[in-house]
Structure 1
Amino acid sequence: MRGVSQARLAVSGLFFLNGLIIGSWAPKIPVLMSRLQISESTMGLIVLCMGLGSVTMMPVFGGLTARYGSSFSVRLAAILSAPVMLLMSLAPTLWSVAAVVVLFGGTIGGMDVAMNANAVAVERARRRAIMSSCHGFWSLGGVAGAGLGGIGITLLGEIGHSVLLTLVVAAGLALIFPRLLHDAPSQEDRASTPLRLPRTPLPYVIGLVALCCMIPEGAILDWAAVYLQRELGASLSLAGWGFAACAGTMAVMRFLGDEIRQRFGAVRTLRVSAVIAIIGLTIAGLSSSPVMAIAGFAFAGLGLANMVPIAFSAAGNMPGLASGVGLSVVTTMGYSGILVAPGSIGWLAEHFSFSVIFVGLAALLLIPLLLSRLMKSADFG
């Protein structure tokens, strides 16, 4: 049991380090724009390269996880991702930076699939949910990476910050790797696991649930401040609280989510979460004041917090399907929501108000609510 407890801490550490690396990307963007002398539109294309790398490599690492186990694939992805930020800092030209960003997206995306699969393996061993708190550690890592990254770049310069980040990640991995849960499949299971997309529709339906849950997350991240400022007259300092309020309540609720799911079950938890998120987004969309909209985003965060972790647990425990294969489908579909949503919502905002858009996103969450019965495989009773 001590080994399983250590494995639980180890996989939480992986989520934290993954969030730390991704969070460190945020303050890197203006530095790259300045160094390369590029415009916002060009930087947008480079950001798209990150998404392209992730979507391409997530199915690959899903197949590796199914064939060799999550402990193998997460080690590979984590080792490859550790020096990528340093390589990005050393890349001298626009094209070399773009190539490294593709690698960055691929390794981080592959690590995402594999560490979620390892969390599922730990859940099975413990017979208790841990996925929500793992995503909570990811949120903490993201806050640390984004918050300390700007300070690090200011004090140490772009390369100095990247060297320090690489050393911190490498030290963290050295502590984590010996404590990871080893879940390599048997020779018979390995031979019988085809490296192809599943032919059953269930993973894709659960992927649709994850997609519908992550689109509102991406929308609040990218557009809440614009909505508060342009349509509700918020000051620039107040407008930033739209996403901050949502992210804060999400982080708190994710650390509470495992016990909630353990007590009430995945299906009921998802249903209640969906209703809360729908109410929160509706309040935000129909608000006449910035403060009320911010309160709506905070309430929506309480609901959104545990919906994606439940979908990931359900994907990793589908009967008759290797967890890496199911998770690769669901994570790819889910994270495509964050990649697709910003541009799509920006286009819609030219034809409709953000108020209408956020109410529409509330309606989108009716899909996970109606499909909530499919989350039964996320239970560990």
Structure 2
Amino acid sequence: MDQRTETAPKAAVRQGYMSKNRLAVSLLFMMNGFVTGSWAPKIPEFKDRLGIGESILGLLILIFGVGSLVLMPIAGGFIARIGSEKVVKITAIILSPLLLLLTLVPNVWTAVIGMFLLGGFVGAMDVAMNANAVEVEKSMRRAIMSSCHAYWSLGGLIGAGIGGFLMARFGVLPHAIVVTGLCVAVLAIAWPMMLADQPHPAAAKEKLRLPMTPLPWLIGLMALFSMIPEGAVLDWGALYLRNELGASVELSGFGFAAFSATMAAMRFAGDHVRDRFGATRTLRICTGTALIGMVLAGLAPNAPVAIIGFAIAGIGISNMVPIAFSAGGNMPGLRPGIGLAVATFMGYSGMLFAPSLIGFIAEHSGFAVIFASIPVLFAVVLLLSHHAVHADHGKEH
């Protein structure tokens, strides 16, 4: 019998498994984004129900960030021991009812615990699902990370979009129950299709510790400087358009909308671009595009020009973080969970905490100076961009 007739069915079966693995990890990203997006429209009700002011609410949101940064490296350590599949299943199970828990907390002190857990398991699941996406990339020998992050953005959009409608029509508790039920349903669909990535026994017994070589931290710096601008546009873009460029309330919302739209669209296309041009060249093109867009936004004479600048910046920033995460999970001589935990920890710390510092600086300098100065961060990413070669699959590093 011809050898090709024997191997073709096996190849088809293997391709089928890889497609299921990709679908599973995409659903996990969508679920995580959906929980995060569903939380956003609950914030006003959460504040009123607990009878707290903006300052206490700000501290609770900070607790969310602290929870993420505490549990992210712990998740990375467990991934190195038992594999991303088990960690993502455990974290997803725990995450599913946490929005319901926050809907039922009776006072500020229980809210502190709830916010820490929500932030912690959103972050821990984030590390685990990114690590699983890295493993799927390796098995398929092609990039999928950008589209995974696009599914996260899509989940966030769905969560934020239906949240207000459900709460207005049915109430806060039914909304939380629906969110929990949808999370359980998505997890049930993804569960049997997840890629199992058990580590070697010797590696599983290794003592967990932070990497002592500079490479993981340099890639983490790339993630950090790629995510600070994203947080800046998210938290301060509308205020910049409104207060400094005279935009109407309606128009001021288009800054982040344009940024998000181009980012989501380019993330779906990003994997094909990376497979065609390689991670390093793609990162350089994206970083240069983001730099041009942010300079345009910061020096804009009016709101429409700034919105165009934010849209161009979204095109560039879209694939910078996925490439950094892929590189973090593919470093030679380092378990994927450890390298990825460093990249996600540093990246999300920038997105969670830098906007507060930006707000303080902007009180004295204005936001135009901030947005015009952010490209300095992109220049550093360009200097480090050769490390993105570790994001490529099936190539010599």
Q: TM-score, normalised by structure 1?
A: 0.99
CA RMSD of aligned residues (A): 0.7
Question: Aligned match of 1:217 in 217, 223, 230?
Answer: 230
Q: What does 1:265-344 correspond to in 2, within 5 Å?
A: 265-344=278-357
Does 2:133 match 1:129? Answer: no
Q: What is the aligned partner in structure 1 of residue 113 from structure 2?
A: 99
Shift of 1:194: 2.3
Shift of 1:188: 2.1
Q: What does 1:29-40 correspond to in 2, within 5 Å?
A: 29-40=43-54
**Separation (CA, whole Å) in 2 of partners of 1:51 and 1:350:** 23
**Separation (CA, whole Å) in 2 of partners of 1:63 and 1:104:** 20
Q: Bigger shift: 182-191 or 132-141? A: 182-191
**Separation (CA, whole Å) in 2 of partners of 1:273 and 1:260:** 11
Shift of 1:4: 1.1
Q: Which amino acid aligns with 1:356?
A: V
**Runs of 4+ more than 6 Å apart:** none
Q: Which amino acid aligns with 1:321?
A: L
Q: What is the aligned partner in structure 1 of residue 390 from structure 2?
A: 377
**Separation (CA, whole Å) in 1 of partners of 2:392 and 2:65:** 31
Shift of 1:189: 2.3
**Separation (CA, whole Å) in 1 of partners of 2:351 and 2:42:** 19
Does 2:198 match 1:163? Answer: no
Shift of 1:186: 2.2
Q: Which amino acid aligns with 2:170?
A: L
Q: What does 1:155-234 correspond to in 2, within 5 Å?
A: 155-191=169-205, 193-234=206-247
**Separation (CA, whole Å) in 1 of partners of 2:257 and 2:207:** 43
Q: What is the aligned partner in structure 2 of residue 82 from structure 1?
A: 96
- What do the CA deviations read for 1:153-191 (whole angstroms, capped 9, x no partner)? 112211111111101100110110100000011212212
Q: What is the aligned partner in structure 1 of residue 380 from structure 2?
A: 367
**Separation (CA, whole Å) in 2 of partners of 1:185 and 1:99:** 33
Does 2:138 match 1:118? Answer: no
**Separation (CA, whole Å) in 2 of partners of 1:160 and 1:90:** 12
Q: What is the aligned partner in structure 1 of residue 26 from structure 2?
A: 12
**Separation (CA, whole Å) in 1 of partners of 2:170 and 2:34:** 18
Question: Aligned match of 1:27 in 41, 45, 67?
Answer: 41
**Separation (CA, whole Å) in 2 of partners of 1:186 and 1:175:** 28
| Unpaired runs of at least 5, structure 1 | none
Does structure 1 conserve the Cα–Cα contact (< 8 Å) formed by 2:80 and 2:203?
no
Q: What is the aligned partner in structure 1 of residue 58 from structure 2?
A: 44
Give aligned pairs, total: 380
Shift of 1:331: 0.2
3-state SS, counterpart of residue 288 of structure 1: coil
Q: TM-score, normalised by structure 2?
A: 0.95
Larger radius of gyration: 2
Q: What is the aligned partner in structure 2 of residue 355 from structure 1?
A: 368
**Separation (CA, whole Å) in 2 of partners of 1:351 and 1:92:** 39
Q: Which amino acid aligns with 2:87?
A: S
